[in-house]
A and B are shown apart, each in its own frame.
Chain A
Amino acid sequence: MTRKSGKLGKWLVSGPPLLYLVVFFAIPTLIMVLASFRSPGDFGGLAPLVDESGKLDLNVDSYVRFFTESVYAQVFLKSVWYALLTTLFCLALGYPLASLVARSSRKHRNLLLLLVILPFWSNFLIRIYAWMIILGPQAALARGVNGVLAYFGHEPVALLFSSFAVLVCLVYVHLPFMVLPLYANLEKHDQALLDAAQDLGAGAWQRFWRITFPLSLPGVYAGAALVFIPALGIFAIPDILGGPDDSLIGNVIKQQFLETRDWPFGSVLSIVLTVAAVVIAGLAAWVGRRNLGTPSSARNARA
């Protein structure tokens, strides 16, 4: 091919999607960054960029507010904590699932994988709603739990509109994101390694802890990132299932944009969230690159 036609073809094909995403993704993001430096409008939203005296109205008031009013930092840390818990539970629940699918015969594997993914493709709200039903005060679970508690003389607890409900639903919604990368990694494991270990006298737990798990770390990190980042920014789950104390950073952002309408401050919160997400993603990518599941990392794990 000639040099000229190659260049033209490249722009023809990549141009339209690039343009669309610049206009509807990159630019809004930049506008949001700019908004974080502006002042809130009198009736909500944003104040004019250039005020009456013709001066550019830019300030760091909103940032100052975030760093001085500790309640927001607290909410952010609570979000981090919830996201962390979610990740850990997803790992605990998702690892056996991924393991089972990876070790199944080829025939069953696709079906088992499909079964893991299908719930993910159902509507997000439906999945939250389902837990409303299960944890509802009239439902069997709550009555059973409270019955047991009453037997021991305890006050009844509300399962719904609580941190417990929020966490259960967070795990529920994000579980498939943990299973997929784990499965993709576990599927590539060479059974011969485990056979050799067994030959050398390693028991089942040792084989798992010293060979399988270390080799699966890249999948673990990928899954952790895929769970942690979205979980950090969730707002619908606390909004529907949570109690008054369960507001996460996502809820605060929603509140700032749609109720309080302090857009600059909302933008600051969003940027903090974005930075956190990018840092986590970068961390996961860096760790994932370092630990490529080669035999040398298994050697390191044994040391």
Chain B
Amino acid sequence: MHRKPIALWIAAGAGYAFLYIPLVIVILYSFNNSRLNAEWVGFTLEWYDKLFHNDDMLAAAGNSLMIALTASLVSTVLGTMAGVAMYRYKLRLLPLLVLTPIAIPEILMGVSLLIFFVLVNFTLGLVSVTLAHIAFCIGFVAIVVRARLAGMDESLTEAARDCGATPWDAFRYVTLPLIMPGVIAGALMAFTLSIDDFVITFFTAGAGTVTLPLQIYSMIKIAVTPEVNAVSSLLMLLTLALIIIASRLSPSLVGAPSEGP
């Protein structure tokens, strides 16, 4: 492409630096042999060791994992259905309900679900959090699946019907295999969103349930130790891996236009 001015490189470089330096510092100090996150003293794995012996942390991680697995599974199924429906049919209510949770500030969903659960006498806990996560993950999966469908050759489903396939058979044998990369990408994204969610979980977890982000939050507010750095680094690693895999399957996840099947 055309030669880009130096000023652009500098400004963009500053942007990238701005984005990454904070994260690098977190990771760096997770190996720092000092309780304070102030300056580098020496290399140690002490904090990672402490992490794996921290019962609260492990329990929180377990909760997060369970919630994320369930939420991503259910939201992938419902989100795929929504994505297919929004692509195939001209609907008005479904797109509105699917896309609004993504557009509005998270706190709104958090408080409205809090009121809802309390009013119907539903105990706040793992289940309420999972239900809440499913609600906002559906939209993301639906968008990814719909994008994948849009890139697919429309005449393939017609050809399947023409060959004697019922609408369900056509979906099962032709459409689904072709959108599967998008479905999996959506599932991975839902998993990531669920594991990372703070705001909505904050309001719907109730007193006794702790997820990883909630645990990190209380550690940040109450007693900061580099254990936080350690768990943050591990979480970042997990997320990084998942998103890289997902972006291979569906480049549109990272904003790039997706290639055809």
Binding site for B on A (CB under 8 A): 1, 5, 9-10, 13-14, 16-18, 20-22, 24-29, 31-32, 35, 45-46, 93-94, 96-97, 99-101, 103-105, 109-110, 113-119, 121-134, 136, 138-140, 172, 175-176, 180, 183-184, 191, 204, 229-230, 232-236, 240, 250, 253-254, 257-258, 263, 266-267, 270, 273-274, 277-278, 281
Contact = CB atoms under 8 A, between A and B. Distances in A.
Interface string B43-61: 0000000000000000000
Contacts of B4: 100, 103
A100 B9 contact: yes
Nearest to B142: A17
Nearest to B216: A125
A45 B50 CA distance: 40
A138 B38 CA distance: 5
B235 A123 contact: yes
16 contacts: A10-B91, A16-B78, A20-B135, A21-B98, A24-B135, A28-B113, A28-B115, A46-B119, A97-B15, A103-B1, A110-B256, A123-B232, A125-B216, A130-B26, A236-B198, A273-B107
A124 B213 CA distance: 9
Given A96-B11, A121-B240, A122-B236, A14 B91 contact: yes
Given A25-B135, A132-B220, A180-B255, A127 B22 contact: yes
B223 interface: no
Contacts of A24: 113, 116, 131-132, 134-135
Interface residues of B, number: 90
B156 interface: no
Interface stretch (B79-87, B147-155, B178-186): B79-87
Nearest to B242: A121
A16 B83 CA distance: 12
B81 A16 contact: yes
Contact of A277 (B105, B203, B221, B236): B105
B12 interface: yes
B172 interface: no
Contact of B12 (A96, A136, A233, A257): A96
Contacts of A250: 105, 107
